[in-house]
Structure 1
Amino acid sequence: MFGLSPLGAVHTAFALVALVAGYAMIVRQGRIDLPSTLGHTYLWCTIVTCLTAFGIFRHGGFNIAHGLAIVTLLTLGLVLVASRTRVFGGLAPYVETLGLTATLFFHMIPGLNETFTRVPAGAPLFTGPDDPALQKAIGAVFVIFAIGMALQAWRIRKGPVPKRQPGLA
């Protein structure tokens, strides 16, 4: 299937589950909610995606995708520290929320490259990681994520919406 090795197929399957879980939470809640079932699914599928990436060498040896897997794992480590300790103090909600959203963006970089250097079959959209059109697509996705992360930070700063009491206008 699209030239994937067995490890590549497992890697892709976990990445797709992570993406679906991550985007479902972003659409529903405006953030990835780590303690939820979908949050746990996102976390563990992202970890497996990163770990399996280290065994994939489609473009030769160690490359930017492997480096991105390391950055993603380090970011997830910071997210877990922020969610389970008081190390970051009042910045913890920002580190957790923005860190998880950043990892979703990190999924998109190799995802766009690997998908659209294969699809459509026989006439892929991009020739490889250095294709200027791919760089523009990643740049556009980055802008969308940067706007989304700014909105998330604003929502955290604004705080929870006070609940209305029944019978009050």
Structure 2
Amino acid sequence: MASLPGRMFFWFTVATAVTGLFIFRHGGFGVPHVLSLLTLAVLAIGWFGDRRGTRGGFWRHVAVVSYLLALFFHFIPGFTETLIRLPLGRPWASGIEDPRLRQPIGAAFVVFLVAAVWQVLRVRALSRRRS
């Protein structure tokens, strides 16, 4: 989180998750609230990992994967809210519980897994070069 874009991502994601707790109104406490709380927890773990893993190692990997997981969490409501509204007049998904939403979210999860492995290998290689 040393770069300006990294700090912006962190703080805008915190703001989105916190404000989301007060915006979601689908019959009380539900899945969107859990996702917001999970996002905040993952960001806290990433922040802690950043503080502990300044020279690489396990905590640096934790930070990188945590921030990447927070990014993946953005795709869940992004796909959901988009696909229950578009295309206009005949949305792709009928609602937030539509099983068809598992396809794009699952694909995003696979991309997350590939990116997480790539990032861990990249951090490991950078750590070895510094040693």
TM range (shorter): 0.7 to 0.9
- Name the residue aligned to 2:44: 77
- Name the residue aligned to 1:134: 101
Gaps of 5+ in 1: 1-33, 163-169
TM-score by length of 2: 0.87
Letter in 2 for 1:70: L
Gaps of 5+ in 2: none
- Name the residue aligned to 1:35: 2
Root-mean-square deviation (CA, aligned residues, Å) is 2.0
- Where do 4+ consecutive residues of structure 1 move more than 3 Å? none
TM-score by length of 1: 0.69
Q: CA deviation at 1:124?
A: 1.6
How many residues are matched?
A: 128
Structure index of larger Rg: 1
Letter in 2 for 1:48: A
Letter in 1 for 2:20: A
Letter in 2 for 1:147: V
- Do the aligned partners of 2:24 and 2:32 also contact (CA within 8 Å) in 1? no
Identity of aligned residues (%): 38
| Cα gap change, 1:124 to 1:58, in 2 (>3 Å) | farther
Distance 1:58 1:118 in 2: 17
Distance 1:123 1:58 in 2: 24
Decide which of 138, 143, 146 is 2:110's aligned counterpart. Answer: 143
Q: CA deviation at 1:44?
A: 0.8
Q: CA deviation at 1:154?
A: 1.5
